[in-house]
Amino acid sequence: MKISGAELENICAHARKGHPFEVCGVLVGITRDGVAHVASALPVENRETEMPRVRYQIAPEDLLHIQRESREAGRDILGFYHSHPDHPARPSETDRRIAAGGLSDGVVHMVVGVKADGTAVPTAWMFRDALQGFEPEPLDVD
């Protein structure tokens, strides 16, 4: 996955600002030669109401709005990002279970581990249906 340093910093800043709650967003861009090129990371409101410190939810209407705007700009939704406040920057079992229950094969997932002191560690993952799990995805910062 390729992303600009500015967009990556926007994601990390969003994670820091949202601490101690999970934040989330949508990764938009194009896939070229099998590589996801993120043009923009669009923050969305975490609609999780019961456990927002350990879960996130993107409302369908937010996703549809982003999908329409992306298509008009000639881009696609490549994946999603979310934070793990005070937890490791890797997909949780809940993340795996949710991805396995949907149409997630080949979808990029960024997880940002963020601490109260502002330390933010971004990682990228690709969900694979055949594995029913995530594989690490190289994070190439331009």
Q: Which residues are catalytic?
A: 22
- Cβ proximity of 85 and 110 under 8 Å: no
- How far, in Å, CA of 112 to CA of 85, rounded? 8
Looking at the DSSP assignment, which residues form a beta bridge with residue 19?
A: none
H helix runs in the chain, sequence order: 5-18, 60-72, 93-100
